[in-house]
C-alpha cells in the first residue's frame, strides 16, 4: 500500500473512531472517574471486540449476515437493547452521584468495566460490514493475503487506541471541573442519554 493510500486509510479511521458514540462516551466517563491510565486499560476490551469483528469480516461472516437479514437484525437489536440498558443505569445512577464520582465507579471492578467495554464494542455488528467494505479498498488484489489484511486491522485498532486514549487524557485533565456534585450528576445523565440515544437509533433503524 502506497504512502498516499496509508494516509487516506489513516484519515478514514480517525474520522470513524473519533466520531462521538458509545465507545467515546464510555472511555471519557471512565477517565473522569478513574483516571487516564485505568480508562485506557479498560478500553482494551473495546479494542479486542473491534479486532474480533474485523476478523469475522475477513472470515466471510459479513456474507452470512447479508444472506440472513433476520439474524443480522436480531444481533443489531440485541446490541441496541444493551446500550439502552447501560444508558438507563447511568441516567438513574445520576440520582446518587456524589461530589467524588470516582467513589461511585470504584464499586465496579476493572474486570467488570472491561467486560462492559467489550460488550459496547461488540454490540454493533454493522462494524463487520464496515470492515468488509473498507479493507478491500486498500489491498492490492494481486498481493492480497492474510498478513496484509491483518496488518490493516492492527493499524485500525492502534488508531482507535490513540484517538480514544487522547479523549481519555483530555477528560482526565478537566477532571477538577467535573467533580462538583451537580457536574457529576449531569455527567452521568449525559452519558446515559447518549447511550440510550444511540441504542434507540440502532433499534429504530433496524425495526423500521
Grade residue 34 by pLDDT with cuts at 50, 70 and 90.
Answer: confident
pLDDT at res. 17: 83
pLDDT at res. 78: 74
76 versus 36: the higher-pLDDT residue is 36
pLDDT at res. 101: 47
Q: What are 38-71's pLDDT values in tens digits?
A: 999 999 999 999 998 888 877 776 566 667 777 6
Average pLDDT over the chain, rounded to an integer = 76
- Distance (Å, whole) CA 167 – CA 155: 18
Q: What are 151-168's pLDDT values in tens digits?
A: 888 999 999 999 999 989
Q: What are 115-158's pLDDT values in tens digits?
A: 999 998 888 766 777 777 777 677 665 565 677 778 888 999 99
* pTM tops 0.85: no
Amino acid at each position: 500500500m502506497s504512502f498516499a493510500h496509508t494516509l487516506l486509510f489513516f484519515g478514514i479511521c480517525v474520522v470513524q473512531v473519533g466520531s462521538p458514540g458509545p465507545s467515546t462516551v464510555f472511555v471519557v466517563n471512565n477517565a473522569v472517574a478513574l483516571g487516564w491510565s485505568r480508562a485506557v486499560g479498560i478500553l482494551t476490551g473495546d479494542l479486542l471486540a473491534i479486532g474480533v469483528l474485523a476478523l469475522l469480516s475477513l472470515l466471510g461472516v459479513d456474507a452470512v449476515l447479508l444472506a440472513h437479514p433476520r439474524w443480522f437484525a436480531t444481533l443489531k437489536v440485541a446490541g441496541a437493547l444493551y446500550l439502552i440498558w447501560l444508558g438507563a443505569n447511568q441516567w438513574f445512577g445520576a440520582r446518587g452521584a456524589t461530589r467524588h464520582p470516582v467513589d461511585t465507579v470504584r464499586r465496579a471492578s476493572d474486570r467488570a468495566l472491561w467486560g462492559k467495554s467489550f460488550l459496547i464494542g461488540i454490540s454493533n455488528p454493522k462494524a463487520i460490514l464496515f470492515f468488509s467494505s473498507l479493507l478491500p479498498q486498500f489491498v492490492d488484489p494481486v498481493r492480497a493475503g492474510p498478513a496484509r489484511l491483518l496488518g490493516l486491522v492492527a493499524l485500525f485498532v492502534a488508531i482507535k487506541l490513540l484517538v480514544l486514549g487522547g479523549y481519555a487524557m483530555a477528560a482526565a485533565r478537566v477532571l477538577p471541573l467535573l467533580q462538583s456534585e451537580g457536574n457529576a450528576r449531569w455527567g452521568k445523565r449525559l452519558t446515559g442519554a447518549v447511550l440510550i440515544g444511540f441504542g434507540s437509533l440502532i433499534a429504530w433503524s433496524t425495526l423500521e
